[in-house]
Amino acid sequence: MFSHVTLGTNDFAAATAFYDAVFATLGIGRFFFEEGYAGYGESRGDQTWIMQPFDGKPASVGNGTHIAFLAPDRASVRAFYEAALAHGGSDEGTPGPRPHYHRNYYACYVRDPDGNKLQAVCHKPEAS
């Protein structure tokens, strides 16, 4: 459905430290890095880019916008949340079930150091 997601930052060093940590919990690595922008995911697949805005104006967040990253299991959702808070992120919803979406929906919500709202979500039932 989409090629990539781009998130703006006002502090590239803080943003890459944050995304290196949270994406590692989901098995996502950085495939591209150049001063001012970094690419995570796969060079020929799903991608998330972190960069300073091209127009030179400050990065800002969209009200009502968030990006949800698929987690392989519930432990990865919790690890994503903990890594986010440990690397300058803030809480927007602790890890837990969200049965109003569906029976197996397990997610957390955080904001990155620039205020972008992120989610890690697992749609699988709890491991027995």
φ, ψ of residue 75 in degrees (nearest 5): -60, -35
Calpha distance 27→5 (Å, rounded): 17
What's this model's pTM, rounded to 2 decimal places? 0.93
Tell me which DSSP letter residue 26 carries: T
Task: Give dist(CA 33, CA 114) in Å, integer.
Answer: 19
Per-residue pLDDT tens digits for 59-110: 999 888 999 999 999 999 999 999 999 999 999 999 999 999 999 999 999 9
DSSP percent split of the chain into helix, strand, coil, nearest 5: 20, 35, 45
Q: Per residue in 18-29, pLDDT tens? A: 999 999 999 999
